[in-house]
Structure 1
Amino acid sequence: MRIALIYDMIYPYSVGGAEVRNYSLAKRLAEQGHEVHLYGVKLWKGPAMIKKDGISIHGVCRYTQKYNFKGNRSIFEPIKFSYYLFKSLTKEKFDIVDCSSFPYFPAFSCKLYSKIKKVPLIITWHEVWRDYWYEYLGWKGVFGVIIEKIVSKLTKNIVAVSNKTKNNLISLGVNKKYISVVYNWVDIKEIKKIKGSKKKLDIIYAGRLMKHKNINILIKSVYLAKKEFPDIKAVIIGDGPEKTKLRALTKRLGLEKNIKFMDFMLKEQAYGFMKSSKLFVLPSILEGFGIIVIEANACGLPVITVKHKRNASADLIKDYNNGFVCKLSEAHIAEKIIILLKDNKLRENMSKKSIRNAKNYNIKNIVTRLEGIYKQCSGN
């Protein structure tokens, strides 16, 4: 099959859960003999189309800026991407197009292409924001709510990455028979090969530094845990509009020797730091799946996350098994950190259970299922 995967950001030039998912999917499908094309924004030097790992990667335009001065996604950049995406897509004929729902506007380009070329369209939903739009954009969030609902009606071929995302789509009025739940995955074999970093750490976080990730709560938790463990070591890997504020908070709390910030890196490097850490903390309130939880588990790390109606990653955790789910509070998170750092035997036991849990999300079986959905939709 000729398959087009659409998302404005492309790994390894941008690092995030959706980017890593799409790239690993494309690579796996290419290894199985499919012709796979990734379409996104051009984030690299050189020609607009490059070949990498058997994948054709298309950069259809450049973004001037991804976020505005408030730290929110720019609206106009995805509109520009959608225009150039349509122009680029119409030069090709694919058997299937799989477009990530966010940032919404590209889904309209893909729908138009699907109609003109009579090509099946799948829209993959990583998360559904619903009323979170109002927290993100204030009163302007009403436009996000409307566009999200319209996009949910563009196709009857829908992939949701978690049951929570499926249920949220149903709440938008999507017929449940149109939705296939296909969990995100990890490559267990790849992770096994990675050696731990020489830098020994207690706590690690890796991901975007966005407001909803609540990394300020993590920093305050480290401040509280430091009273029990004065030499506690944490690393925060990632980038985003909150980084300057988070660095300032770290300095204000006197944690500069305890918390180190590192820029985004290739996932293999991040796995190395995970393997040299004792636990992972994810205080995010907005996760459509939370692949980083499974990646951390695969590296042997119990994960501390928070209970919230929008946080699907909490569904991946069982207390005292592969992590803890607690309230969004520095005191509660610090309490769980202290439990794991104090009790080596408990942590080692949970580490083994974490690795076993990650095996349920191995890439081979899950990608095979997604490939089957592609074949069914395209008639191949």
Structure 2
Amino acid sequence: MRIAYVYDAVFPWETGGVQKRVWEIGRRLAVHHDIHWYGLKYWDGPAVVTRDGVTLHGVMSPTDLYVDGRRSITEALAFTARLVRPLADESFDVIDCQEFPFFPVFPSKLQSVLRRSTLVLTWHEVWDDYWMEYLGWKGTVGRVIERLTATLPDRHVAVSGRTVRDLRRLGVADASLVPNGIDVAEVETVPPADKPVDLLYVGRLIEEKNAGVLVRAVAQLRQTESDVNCIIVGDGPERARIESLVARLGLAENVTIVGEIDRYTDVLSLMKTATVFVAPSRREGFGISVLEALACGTPVVTVDHPQNAAQELVDDGVTGAVCDRTIDGLVAGIRRARSNASATACRDTAHEYEWDRIAESTETLYASVVGARTHPESITTYCP
């Protein structure tokens, strides 16, 4: 099959969960298929290059993906405009477009109509009513575009059970669940960090991630555990506020904010030495860092929230804890994870999400939808 992925941020120059998914699946499928990725041109030299069997198409020079902590509409529109011609000039069996920031889905749809490709739309989150909370009345525009986008593809893919359920509210009844994955073999080669860590947080420092709740939980734990220590890895618009909270609570000896860590293996080293990985976010489309921690054998504490898909990865009392969204709840969850969770169970859970298995499921899905377009009588229900 000839397969095109559409997403502006390209791995390894950008290392978020979406770009990691496209890269890990794409390079595995490239062994037997012709794989292309249309994104921003982060590299020097020609616009089209090949890396590990994947042909990268640099549509335009990279620009800021985020402005004031939010995805840049200007960047998304510019990328979409530059995408139309190079994408329309090629023929593919499948175009897999990542759903956000929405606008690139429209030229992907145009290409699928002109060239009779199958358009697959991979959903990492559904915002729907959350648009109004996020942007106020302006969120109406985002909500309308999201719903319009949901009408365009031939097949929908969701990375979590939560997103499958959310898509049903948009009228999408047949989304296929193909989760994100992990390279367990790579994780196993990484040694733990030298210094032990009681609590570890890895993620962007934005309001939804609730790192401030973790800081307050550390303050409560310190009342009985004076030497408890916590490392916060990440950066973002909430960093100054969190640093101020640490100072105000007198936690300079207990909480260290290290910012972003460039080397993936260094993050894994910290995860391996941590007693508990804490992910208090109330919004997660999947929770790739949670899966990474489990692969390291580290139990995870996350919160019970209808918009937090990461809780689907955690078996309460076995691989960590799913707790209330309060400071007391988080403290109780940390203590429960320390006492009851099993490192072996954590690793066993991660093995279920090996990238090789995810790529195989994706390949099966693509073959199914291409066959359905060519031979409608061959349509079957896809089960990952």
TM-score in same-fold range (> 0.5): yes
What is the letter of the counterpart of residue 65 of structure 2?
A: K
Tell me what 2:22 maps to.
22
Q: Please show how residues 93-172 of structure 1 align to structure 2 within 5 Å.
A: 93-172=91-170
Runs of 5+ unmatched residues, structure 1: none
Q: Does 1:202 align with 2:198?
A: yes
> Contact 1:16/1:207 (CA < 8 Å) preserved in 2?
no
Tell me what 1:313 maps to.
310
Q: Please show how residues 27-66 of structure 1 align to structure 2 within 5 Å.
A: 27-30=27-30, 32-66=31-65
Tell me what 2:365 maps to.
373
Tell me what 1:261 maps to.
258
Select 1:236's aligned residue among 232, 235, 254: 232
What SS class does the counterpart of residue 80 from structure 1 fall into? helix
> Contact 2:231/2:258 (CA < 8 Å) preserved in 1?
yes
The percent of aligned pairs where both chains have the same amino acid is 39
Deviations 1:55-90 (A, max 9, x none): 222332235432233x22222211111111222212
Q: Does 1:296 align with 2:293?
A: yes
What SS class does the counterpart of residue 105 from structure 1 fall into? coil
**Are residues 334 and 49 of structure 1, via their aligned partners in 2, closer, same or farther at CA, if it must alter by over 3 Å?**
farther
- Displacement of 1:116 in angstroms is 1.5
Q: Partners of 1:264 and 1:83 in 2: how far apart?
A: 33
Deviations 1:174-225 (A, max 9, x none): 1x23x21112211222211222122321111222222211111122222222
- Displacement of 1:315 in angstroms is 2.0
Q: Partners of 2:333 and 2:318 in 1: how far apart?
A: 13
Select 1:324's aligned residue among 321, 324, 327: 321
- Displacement of 1:35 in angstroms is 2.1
Q: Partners of 1:272 and 1:23 in 2: how far apart?
A: 22
Q: Partners of 1:298 and 1:56 in 2: how far apart?
A: 30
- Displacement of 1:340 in angstroms is 4.2
What is the letter of the counterpart of residue 95 of structure 2?
A: V
Deviations 1:254-305 (A, max 9, x none): 3233223231424333212111111111111111222222211111111111
Q: Partners of 2:187 and 2:62 in 1: how far apart?
A: 32
> Contact 1:203/1:234 (CA < 8 Å) preserved in 2?
yes
Q: Partners of 1:262 and 1:42 in 2: how far apart?
A: 26
Q: Partners of 2:56 and 2:236 in 1: how far apart?
A: 24
- Displacement of 1:44 in angstroms is 4.3
What SS class does the counterpart of residue 159 from structure 1 fall into? strand
**Are residues 54 and 14 of structure 1, via their aligned partners in 2, closer, same or farther at CA, if it must alter by over 3 Å?**
same
Tell me what 1:277 maps to.
274
- Displacement of 1:137 in angstroms is 0.9
Q: Partners of 1:112 and 1:96 in 2: how far apart?
A: 13
What SS class does the counterpart of residue 278 from structure 1 fall into? strand
Tell me what 2:3 maps to.
3
> 10-19 or 40-49: which moved more?
40-49
What SS class does the counterpart of residue 190 from structure 1 fall into? helix
Tell me what 1:357 maps to.
349
Q: Partners of 2:263 and 2:43 in 1: how far apart?
A: 15
> Contact 2:201/2:231 (CA < 8 Å) preserved in 1?
yes
Q: Please show how residues 204-219 of structure 1 align to structure 2 within 5 Å.
A: 204-219=200-215
Q: Partners of 1:181 and 1:93 in 2: how far apart?
A: 26
What SS class does the counterpart of residue 306 from structure 2 fall into? coil
What SS class does the counterpart of residue 202 from structure 1 fall into? strand
Q: Partners of 1:322 and 1:288 in 2: how far apart?
A: 20
- Displacement of 1:37 in angstroms is 1.7
Q: Partners of 1:269 and 1:210 in 2: how far apart?
A: 22
What is the letter of the counterpart of residue 168 of structure 2?
A: I
Q: Partners of 2:265 and 2:55 in 1: how far apart?
A: 22
Tell me what 1:77 maps to.
75
What TM-score do you get using the length of structure 1 for normalisation?
A: 0.92
Q: Partners of 1:60 and 1:249 in 2: how far apart?
A: 42
Q: Partners of 1:351 and 1:363 in 2: how far apart?
A: 21
Deviations 1:78-127 (A, max 9, x none): 11111112222123222211001011111111111111121111000111
Runs of 5+ unmatched residues, structure 2: 375-384
Tell me what 1:221 maps to.
217
What is the letter of the counterpart of residue 234 of structure 2?
A: G
> Contact 1:307/1:326 (CA < 8 Å) preserved in 2?
yes
> Contact 1:303/1:322 (CA < 8 Å) preserved in 2?
yes
**Are residues 288 and 340 of structure 1, via their aligned partners in 2, closer, same or farther at CA, if it must alter by over 3 Å?**
closer
> Contact 1:196/1:271 (CA < 8 Å) preserved in 2?
yes
**Are residues 54 and 248 of structure 1, via their aligned partners in 2, closer, same or farther at CA, if it must alter by over 3 Å?**
farther
Q: Partners of 1:92 and 1:229 in 2: how far apart?
A: 61
**Are residues 319 and 340 of structure 1, via their aligned partners in 2, closer, same or farther at CA, if it must alter by over 3 Å?**
closer
What is the letter of the counterpart of residue 55 of structure 1?
A: V
**Are residues 352 and 8 of structure 1, via their aligned partners in 2, closer, same or farther at CA, if it must alter by over 3 Å?**
same
**Are residues 114 and 275 of structure 1, via their aligned partners in 2, closer, same or farther at CA, if it must alter by over 3 Å?**
same
